[in-house]
Structure 1
Amino acid sequence: MPDPVVILAMPHCGAARVAAMLGMHTQAYALPELNLFMTDRLGDLLSTFRRSESRLEDGLLRLVAQLQFGGQTRNTVEQARQWLESRGQIPVATLTRELLQKVAPLHPVLPDTSAGWRPQELDALLERHPQARYIHLVRHPRAHGDAAIEALAGRLFIAPDWKDHFGGVSRVDPQLAWLRVQANLQGLAAMGEQRYHLLRLEDLRIDTQQTLANLCDWLGWSTDEAEIEAMQHPESSDYAGFGPDNAPFGAEPEVLERPRFIQDLEEVPPLSEPPPWRADARPFAVEVVALAQAFGYD
């Protein structure tokens, strides 16, 4: 059974879209976001899903509906839910092996926007998949911050991870979350170039074909022209767009709303310009600037 390719990123970086792009290669199969690394036992994981305000279970339900019951409909999603509930005593790692065996010999491509926040989830991921390949997907902190601010607008509750409490005032400032997650994921570089690959989202937009060819070359996949062309159509993935109403998600809403790869490159102001979401006009933190520059951003 091939080892998975895991795309680790923050929310608002399009990890599921990039996974779908890789999944259009004839040697690969893109998965939705599964959130499998929160607990060790399946029953505990399902219980965690039920307690969450987010639809964390939708990706797993859509995957089981597709692979175990032949498609994604309201009925097959309910069958998937019952099938998972009936197997609550098994380890999550056992379930994962069973599902990955169903897509073998294709390489499963798993997007994950959770493990980078929580070291215990990242540790669980590394322990269960010791031979996996990891793509660290990063986005410019200004572009990422703008997207995060837009997504958080109007929410009644905003997690502390997104806030700055400098000077005793609580304000939303996504650059701090960006710094925390990127620093956590950058630590994977110690694995070496064979297992860790840094991918800037902007590079996919600047030179899509060459960036995809470089990824395929790193993964040991064919770089045939037809393969690269197919990878530019993630909207053809099994999990593109919203699922049935009892499991609509499995990726970020902005990816599900626009599953097609959008190649328009937005101009991003330099890091020396203060982020617009800071009413006090404070510049980017020096730690953010240093790490962004290490990734090749200006």
Structure 2
Amino acid sequence: MTAAEPVFLLAPARSYSTVAVALLSGHPDVYGFPETLVFNAATVGELLREGTGWARFPLRQSGLWRAVADLHEGSQDGDAVARAREWLADRADWPTTRLMDHLIDLARPRVSLEKSPDTSSDDAILARCMAAYPRARFLHLVRHPVTAQRSLHEHWRPAGRFRSEKALITEAAAFWYLSHQRIIAALAPLPAEQWMRVRAEDLLTEPRVWLPRILAWLRLDGDPHIVDRMLLTENWRFAGTGRSDDLLGGDPKFLRSPALRPIPAPGPVVFDPSWGLHDEMCDRMTDLAHSLGY
């Protein structure tokens, strides 16, 4: 395993993963991708067709467009993005792993860092990632189950995905729990040096403590002057939403205001009684949270 192996950040949605990538991307030897969703399908054509089914999220694939445009042309303007979309359409028969290889090659000698929350949301997607890159490093980012689920409620509710508040709350609990269980099971067989787990609250609250630890694991220079530059998350090449203000590839709220901001410290693992979650589910989430350091 060399320092040039890619790094995949594994975390369910609403785990501060976009902020974490923006932080790490401030290192001169790291190329932090927006969300590419590249492992969601076996071929580029299937990946592009998948995007057409997300009528409520028409820009779901714009992170991939931005990455291709940036690596091909050093630009994310409208023309470059249009050419990136054409380039992808012309390679519909490519395996998505070939596309990822291509992007990683273009990013070299920088270390590629990619995160797409979808990767940890499905067994097949995560297996595709890990099978394609068995020597990659994996950063498992975790967030307190109560604040993560509150954020999921707020994020999912406007989309009208659920018929009832109870269904939304139950799905958010299952999503947090199953995503982390899936990641834990996938990482368990790997050598200890190939993966690292970090609490998002620690990273964002004490970045000068935790960034050097992550950089040491990645075998990258952790000079304090470099770390200071990494705190300027607004300088990430994918911060913002493009000149047209309609490109995403991460948490929209952060992309539109990408400066690093303090977050509350994690409190006790106590679920809101008004959520009406079953005791067994609360007990399982509490045990998992404790194993993750909460």
Q: Distance in 2 between matches of 1:142 and 1:170?
A: 17
Output the CA distance in 2 between the equivalents of 1:115 and 1:277: 31
Structure 1's 170 and 12: CA in aligned 2 closer, same or farther, altered over 3 A?
Answer: closer
Q: Output aligned runs, 1:92-103, within 5 Å.
A: 92-103=96-107
Amino acid at match of 1:270: P
Q: Give the aligned partner of residue 28 of structure 1.
A: 30
Q: Which moved more, 1:227-236 or 1:120-129?
A: 227-236
Does residue 49 in structure 1 map to residue 47 in structure 2?
Answer: no
1:281 positional shift: 9.3
Q: In structure 1, how many angstroms separate the alpha carbons of the residues matched to 2:228 and 2:50?
A: 40
Q: In 1, are the aligned partners of 2:39 and 2:97 still within 8 Å (CA)?
A: no
Q: How does 1:80-91 map to 2 (within 5 A)?
A: 80-91=84-95
What are the Cα deviations for residues 88-128 of structure 1, in whole angstroms up to 9, with x where unaligned?
A: 12222222212111110000111120111100000100011
Residue type of the partner of 1:4? P
Larger CA deviation: 189-198 vs 219-228: 189-198
Partner AA of 1:117 in structure 2: S
- 2:157 paired with 1:153: yes
Listed one character per residue, the Cα deviations across residues 168-216 of structure 1 (whole Å, up to 9, x for unaligned) are x645232221111011111213313211111100111332211101101
Higher percent of residues as helix: 2
- Is 1:189–1:196's contact at 8 Å kept on the other side of the alignment? no
Residue from 123, 127, 131 that aligns with 1:123: 127
Q: TM-score, normalised by structure 2?
A: 0.90
Deviation at 1:261, TM superposition (A): 1.8
Relative distance call for 1:153 and 1:44 in structure 2 (3 A) is closer
Pair 1:179-2:177 in alignment: yes
State the Cα distance separating 1:81 from its structure 2 match: 0.8
Alpha-carbon deviation of 1:82?
0.9
Runs of 4+, deviation exceeding 4 Å: 279-284
**Unaligned segments of structure 1, at least 5 residues:** none
Of stretches 146-155 and 116-125 in structure 1, the one that deviates more from structure 2 is 146-155
SS state of the match for residue 238, structure 1? coil
Give the whole-Å Cα distance in 2 for the aligned partners of 1:230 and 1:270. Answer: 33
Deviation at 1:276, TM superposition (A): 5.8
* Count of matched residue positions in the alignment of Structure 1 and Structure 2: 288
Closer, same or farther in 2 for the Cα pair 1:280/1:104, shift >3 Å? closer
**Structure 1 counterpart SS, 2:275:** coil
Q: Tell me whether 1:113 sits opposite 2:117 in the alignment.
A: yes
- For 2:33, the aligned partner's letter is L
What is aligned with 1:40? Answer: 42
Q: Structure 1, residues 49-76: CA drift from partner, whole Å, max 9, x if none?
A: 2222333311110011111133011111
Conservation of the 8 A alpha-carbon contact between 1:62 and 1:243: no
Secondary structure in 2 aligned to 1:153? helix
With 243-252 and 110-119 compared, the bigger mean Cα shift is at 243-252
Alignment gaps of 5+ in structure 2: none
User: Do residues 294 (structure 1) and 291 (structure 2) align?
Assistant: yes
- Would you say 1:191 and 2:190 are equivalent positions? yes
1:117-165 deviation line (CA, Å, top 9, x unaligned):
1000001000111111000100000111121122223332239xxx99x
Partner of 1:134: 138
Equivalent position of 2:219 in the other structure: 220
1:73 aligns with 2:72: no
**2:175 is paired with a residue of what secondary structure?**
helix
Indicate whether 1:6 and 2:8 are aligned: yes
CA contact (8 A) 1:275 1:284 kept: no
SS at match of 1:136: strand
Show the 5 A alignment for 1:254-265. 254-262=253-261, 264-265=262-263
Counterparts of 1:43 and 1:288, CA distance in 2: 38
Instruction: Determine if the alignment matches structure 1 residue 285 to structure 2 residue 282.
Output: yes
**SS in structure 1 at match of 2:80:** helix
Answer yes or no: is the 8 Å Cα contact 2:208–2:227 preserved in 1: yes
RMSD value, Cα: 2.3
Q: Is the 8 A contact 1:30 1:108 kept in 2?
A: yes
